[in-house]
């Protein structure tokens, strides 16, 4: 179901873009960029250029937050690793709580000695 929804979305965007390009292929506009002015630029080039530029801006903006989240997760993983190593160290150094002095030290409490 999820793949079908993604495929339908991609096809919808593709056909909408093709329709826009076909209907506005002959339209020319003047593009003022602030430092330069471009005359007779195709409208479809302006629209798709704006789409690509918007995607690049979102990529750059997303990289900053993605790196921040990765740093937080890396710190959290390191902290959990240190806690786990400390917990393992404590478990290995404990002595038996049920050792009453009988039998060998390596025996567990449930084993009987004959």
Question: Each residue's pLDDT tens digit in the chain (114 positions)?
Answer: 688 888 898 899 888 888 888 888 788 988 888 899 989 988 888 888 888 999 899 999 899 889 999 999 999 998 888 888 777 666 555 666 666 655 555 555 555 555
Q: What is the pTM of this model?
A: 0.51
- Residue 42 burial (CB count, 10 A): 16
Q: How many CA atoms lie within 13 A of 91 on its CB side?
A: 6
């Amino acid at each position: 179901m999820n793949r079908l929804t993604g495929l339908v979305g991609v096809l919808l965007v593709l056909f909408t873009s093709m329709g826009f390009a076909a209907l506005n292929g002959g339209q020319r506009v003047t593009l003022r960029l602030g430092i330069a002015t471009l005359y007779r630029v195709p409208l479809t080039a302006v629209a798709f250029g704006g789409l690509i530029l918007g995607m690049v801006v979102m990529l750059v903006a997303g990289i900053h937050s993605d790196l921040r989240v990765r740093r937080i997760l890396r710190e959290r993983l390191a902290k959990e690793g240190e806690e786990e190593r400390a917990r393992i160290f404590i478990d290995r150094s404990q002595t038996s709580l049920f050792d009453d002095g009988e039998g060998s030290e390596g025996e567990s409490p449930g084993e009987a000695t004959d």
